A and B are shown apart, each in its own frame.
Chain A
Amino acid sequence: MFYVATGAVLLALLFAVIRAIRGPTVFDRVLAANTIGTLAILLLASYGFLTGRPEFLDIGLTYGLLNLIGTFAVLKFFRHGDLAYDITEDQEKPGWK
């Protein structure tokens, strides 16, 4: 029955990959990449159960952390064209007192 879970995750992955390829803007692709990361963790979990090796979950956790950092790095890069931008740029906006 873990086959069902793995298959469903793979199907969802396929849809997400199609969106990543077709996505008209870069943000569609980042969103799709983020979703692919989520689905990859779920795939690791269910595949781990399928093969009786749930140690895969450790990889999944690490992947989740990297996924967030990767999303932010890409977004920041496309916003500033640079990963080490000048922070004063953001402080012109009204925010916390």
Chain B
Amino acid sequence: MEMIADAASWCLIVLGCFFLVTGALGMLRMPDVYTRMHAASVIDTIGATLLILGLIIQAGPTLIALKLVFVLALFFFFSPVASHAVAQAALHADVKPILSEDRRDRDVPDGPEAKSGKGARS
């Protein structure tokens, strides 16, 4: 039983490390700040989660596992806030994104899905 848990946790840790390194590599390779953010969010979400899940299995049902869960929750609540803030600040400072297509001026339809949603709510 313990061996299975061990194997599972090592799988998670190694996979998490793979995503960490890939995300960091992406931060080096991407051409502008907005695309780098996507690479950073790979680190913040999947890499951190898998690594911490692996450590939780290693820690067993102790206070340490609970603290690891808190760290995980911290990532999940704060990392989108931080990347949103960076993106907004960069836009505000007129850092031009490299774009292959800009649909920001598309007029947002009150499309069928939005409409049916609204109907269902009222």
Contact B90 A25 (CB under 8 A): yes
Q: Using CB atoms, name the residue of chain A closest to B27.
A: A19
Complex interface residues of chain A between 44 and 59 (CB less than 8 A to chain B): 45-46, 49, 54, 57-58
Q: Does B55 contact A (CB under 8 A)?
A: yes
Measured CA separation A19–B83 after assembly (Å): 16
Contact B95 A64 (CB under 8 A): no
Main secondary structure of the interface of A (DSSP, over half): helix
Which residues on the A side are within 8 Å of B37 (C-beta)?
31
- B85-111 vs A: 1/0 string, CB under 8 Å? 110011011010000000000000000
Measured CA separation A91–B18 after assembly (Å): 43
Contact B44 A38 (CB under 8 A): yes
7 shortest A-B CB distances, which residue pairs? A8-B17, A15-B24, A12-B24, A27-B90, A57-B67, A12-B20, A75-B89
A interface residue numbers (CB < 8 A to B): 1, 4-5, 8-9, 11-16, 18-19, 23, 25, 27-28, 30-32, 34-35, 38-39, 41-42, 45-46, 49, 54, 57-58, 60-61, 64-65, 67-68, 71-72, 75, 78-79
